[in-house]
Copies of this chain bind each other. A is one copy, B any other.
Amino acid sequence: MADNQETILLKIKEQGDLVRKLKAAKESNEKIQEEVAKLLALKAQLAPEDAAPQKFSLKTPKGTRDYNPQQMSLRNGVLDKIVAIFKRHGGECIDTPVFELKDVLTGKYGEDSKLIYDLKDQGGEILALRYDLTVPLARYLAMNKINTLKRYHIGKVYRRDNPAMTRGRYREFYQCDFDIAGQYDPMVPDAECLKVVTEILESLEIGQYVLKVNHRRLLDGMFEVCGVPADKFRTACSAVDKLDKSPWEEVRSEMINEKQISPDAADRIGEYVRLNGGVELVEKLLKDEKLSKTKAAVEGLEGVKLLLEYCELFGIKDKILFDLSLARGLDYYTGVIYEAVLTQPIKIGNEDQTVGSIAAGGRYDNLVGMFDSKHKQVPCVGLSIGVERIFSVMEAKLAAGVISVRTNDIDVYVASAQKNFLEERMKICAELWNAGIKTEQSYKKNPKMLNQLQHCEDNGIPIAVVLGESELKRGVVKVRNVTSRQEDEIPREKLVEELKARIAALSVKDVNGSA
């Protein structure tokens, strides 16, 4: 290991050539083996063990991506705001493993189960990557016999879907969930979930949105009065769920041709799902000749009515739209369902794109019971923020220069105007770090002054401490305002105090600036 990598690689090449030459010349096996041994010894010197050039394409797996510092800054900014609101509502944080026993996931996602990532059977348990954070929550509640919990969970989930990455659809993506578990009075936690969604979307300033609500019991009642057999409610639901992306004619045709729903029934469904409105629509439907005689529909409508009343008390009525076309694909919902969508397209790249759902959720009262040997239920209602889509919108804004972002928080850069100041810089850095000041310096012994100041400007570092020989002799250092380029001499022993004052002043300015 006495030679560096390049020298070894050169020697390997030469030795390889020699071996090839001997083989071509049909030299004795003994001689060839001797030189091959030398070649192998050289290769063994390469650290780490195998330094053969890369043969595979250097990429992340299909449907996944790295987040660079700029993207992480955006992402962390978004998540910090979301978490602050979860905490404002008393959310407690939990975390679960990224994989579960395969059995835990089986039978929870209907048609989508084929999208689950399985782990290889390497001896031991059969495992799969989690598909969402809701089923792990239900497993957690049942396993620990917990009856009440208000929790948030931010983590990655995995779906072997066709990625559409420019629109924020990945195979690995963050979910950001808030759920309230417990036996409570109707619609009280449900309304709070809607309140949480509005607070989050408003704090993110992502654009105009509407929060659509509907009720699974109403959908069931609606399908019933339209003449759909009970065993086709779920499949009808997943057809209706496509109305946000496809026109009615397509959905109708899917119902009739793929789901074997009669054309008459489909047409009756078509009449209902074009309805949306507020409490007046609820009142109207409660008087609907057929729905009013169907237990499920009345339960659903009464639920929506109560929910809308609570939303008015919470001051969010104007954000809510009762919409009979909202269905939600997942099997496990049993009560209220909701979905927030942006009402205006967003420019991503050069195109106006419809972003679609940016938050969604609903009530699922039977899921926890599926994990309990005695089917003991823990009613739950929750929401999931579509953070990947929100990130995509923010990244588009960043690319368009509408917003900007710093990737580090450094306040002070310690620079030197002359050579041989590394030791002095190090002492000052340590002093500033120990005082909690976010500080950086060059890792070169003798960096150029221009490069050091350029680094400050490139990275938005507001203050530079500039060391010079004459100043140090007089017991002072220069403190430079990077933006204005104004420099002041500060007594060396007052440096920390002075910098703290300047940083405090900057953050006050920041707050005022952004207000």
Contacts and interface: CB of A to CB of B under 8 A. Distances in A.
A60 B108 CA distance: 17
Nearest to A72: B93
Contact of A366 (B48, B68, B295): B48
B121 A408 contact: no
A49 B107 contact: yes
Contact of A41 (B65, B88, B230, B377): B230
B122 A93 contact: no
Given A184-B443, A188-B422, 14 more contacts: A5-B375, A44-B230, A45-B230, A45-B231, A53-B375, A56-B101, A58-B142, A62-B125, A66-B144, A76-B93, A122-B160, A185-B422, A199-B434, A314-B429
Interface stretch (A112-120, A320-328, A492-500): A112-120
A292 to B, nearest CB: 15
Interface in A86-119: 87-101, 103-104, 106-108, 110, 117-119
Interface in A389-412: 407-410
A92 B72 contact: yes
Given A67-B95, A122-B160, A2 B220 contact: yes
Query: Nearest 8 pairs between A and B by C-beta?
Result: A184-B443, A69-B92, A64-B97, A50-B107, A118-B120, A72-B93, A67-B95, A90-B440
Interface residues of A, number: 130
24 contacts: A1-B220, A2-B224, A5-B369, A47-B331, A47-B332, A48-B367, A48-B370, A54-B370, A54-B371, A54-B373, A56-B101, A66-B140, A68-B94, A72-B95, A76-B93, A87-B438, A88-B437, A91-B408, A97-B172, A99-B172, A119-B129, A184-B444, A199-B433, A314-B426
B433 A98 contact: no
A122 B117 contact: yes
A182 B91 CA distance: 42
A471 to B, nearest CB: 19
A313 interface: yes
A386 interface: no
Given A2-B224, A313-B427, A101 B59 contact: yes
A310 B129 CA distance: 46
Nearest to A374: B53
A466 to B, nearest CB: 18
Nearest to A95: B67
A120 B121 CA distance: 7
A46 to B, nearest CB: 8
Contact of A47 (B53, B89, B334): B334
A234 B436 contact: no
Chain B CB count within 10 A is highest, among A58, A117, A427, for: A58
